[in-house]
Amino acid sequence: LYKANEKLAEARVWKGADSMLELGLPKDFYVTFPRGQYQHLKASMEINNLITAPVQKGDKLGAIKVVLNDQAVGETDLVALKEDPEGGFMRRAFDSLLLIVK
């Protein structure tokens, strides 16, 4: 269904050098299902709400679940496709204030 190391989503990173981080899969993701049922597959992504830098490439930050007729047929981790080191003092201070308000 999905290839490894391709961007599938973006997530907000707090206190990092970059504010957004690309998420993908560490390896190709396959599922097995009955012939003719492809249109009934439903994929959903769950991404951690609070991602704080530093983030290393390969860190687990969520999951993808694939369901066929309300039955799970596959699940795999969503990981960071690149690293995001801690941002500078101003970035960390500003994000800290935003987190307090949020």
Q: By three-state DSSP, how is residue 72 classified?
A: strand
Q: What is the DSSP string of 21-70?
A: EEEE-SS-B-----TT-GGGEEEEEEE-S-EES-B-TT-EEEEEEEEETT
Interval 6-57: pLDDT, tens: 999 999 999 999 999 999 999 999 988 888 888 889 999 999 989 999 999 9
Interval 41-50: pLDDT, tens: 999 999 998 9
pTM for the whole structure: 0.84
The pLDDT of residue 42 is 93
